[in-house]
Amino acid sequence: MQKSVKHKIVILGCGNVAWHLAKHFSNLKNFQVYIYNHHENVLLNDFRTKLKCSTSDSFNDIIADADFYFICVTDKFISSAVKKINPINTNSIIMHTSGSAKIEELGKLNNIAVFYPLQTFSKSIDVNWNDTPIVIEAKKISVKKKIIVLAKLFSKNVVSLNYKERLKLHLAAVLVNNFTNSLFVAAGDLIEESSVNTKFKILLPLIKQTVIKIENSDPRSVQTGPAKRNDDTVMKKHIKLLSQDRSLKKIYKQLSELIVKQQTKKHA
């Protein structure tokens, strides 16, 4: 019996997004994954040994007959990275995975697309792909159809957005993920500075309950806290505690003002 032909997947970059894409494709079995980085990187060894990917530390080695090319590099390097791809397959599709870069960064190649997973990626933590939104964009209908099929190998939640819509979504993602995590860091530092018996984990039930509440309710409607109550007495105590941290003190005041404005808008 003849073996089924494996689809060839090329991934440029070896960061967190590249890792999780490669891991998922490798688990699907009917894909051969090739990883390329523009210079030597110790991370390539894990792709090779743990995921059984073919790897190279030079973009000059990129194969020309892949079915799909994923560019997983920082936005400012997308346009230069895509120039290293010279497909001989007229049906090859080249895409970037950025939430904030235009599709035009891929140049004037025939089959280009965006494949943006709306998720936070850390190499050591597994991703629940099934619920992760995959945001796509393509100029050609035929390419979009193929990307939708590919995206559904990852997730049941595939969304087609234009650049402006995707950029706003990316900004929203930064607010709820990156900025919120930064506040988690600040909260953990504050707790550990004040008590040897208390750690960040004491806040986890509160964080989990906050997320549970917004699963079925508008975030504005479930807002609580001193700013929402316009409790100046409590807020002044907090601000005094932050007297030695000018940055966090400023953020506290600004976020409190934001909450007041948001609640005013609710009742307008």
Assigned token pair, 108? 């004037």
pLDDT, residue 3, reads 57
Query: Does residue 183 contact residue 191 with C-beta atoms inside 8 Å?
Result: no
pLDDT tens for 87-121 read 999 999 999 999 999 999 999 888 999 999 999 99
Q: What is the pLDDT of residues 20-56, one digit of tens each?
A: 999 999 999 899 999 999 999 999 999 999 999 999 9
Please check the confidence at residue 1 and state whether its pLDDT lies above 50.
no
For the chain, the average pLDDT equals 94
Type and span of the H or E element at 143: helix 141-151
Surface-to-core class of residue 249, CB atoms within 10 Å of its CB (0-12 exposed, 13-18 middle, 19+ buried) = middle
Q: Which contacts (CB < 8 Å, 24+ apart) does range 192-200 have?
A: none
Tell me what the mean pLDDT of segment 226-239 comes to. 96
Q: How confident is the model at residue 194 (pLDDT cuts 50, 70, 90)?
A: confident
Helix (H, G, I), strand (E, B) or coil at 9: strand
pTM, two decimals, is: 0.92
Q: What pLDDT, in 10s, does the model give residues 197-208?
A: 788 999 999 999
Choose between 144 and 264: higher pLDDT: 144
Angle, helices 246-266/232-241, rounded to nearest 10 degrees = 160
Backbone angles phi, psi at 211, to 5 degrees: -70, -40
Question: Model confidence at 267, in pLDDT bands (50, 70, 90)?
Answer: low
Alpha-carbon distance 25 to 66, whole Å? Answer: 14
Indicate if the alpha-carbon torsion angle 247, 252, 257, 262 is positive or negative.
positive
For the chain, which domains are there?
7-161 (3.40.50.720), 166-266 (1.10.1040.20)
**DSSP β-bridge partners for residue 68:** 9, 93
The mean pLDDT value for 179-187 works out to 97
pLDDT band at 266 (very low <50, low <70, confident <90, very high): low
Beta strands 68-71; 54-56: pairing state: unpaired
Phi, psi at residue 67, to the nearest 5°? -85, -40
**What's the pLDDT score for residue 171?**
98
Q: Which of 20, 252, 34 is nearest to 121 (CA)?
A: 20
Report the C-alpha dihedral over residues 9, 12, 16, 21, rounded to 10 degrees: -10
Q: Rounded to the nearest 5 degrees, what angle is found at the Cα of 70, between the Cα atoms of 69 and 74?
A: 140
268 pLDDT more than 70: no
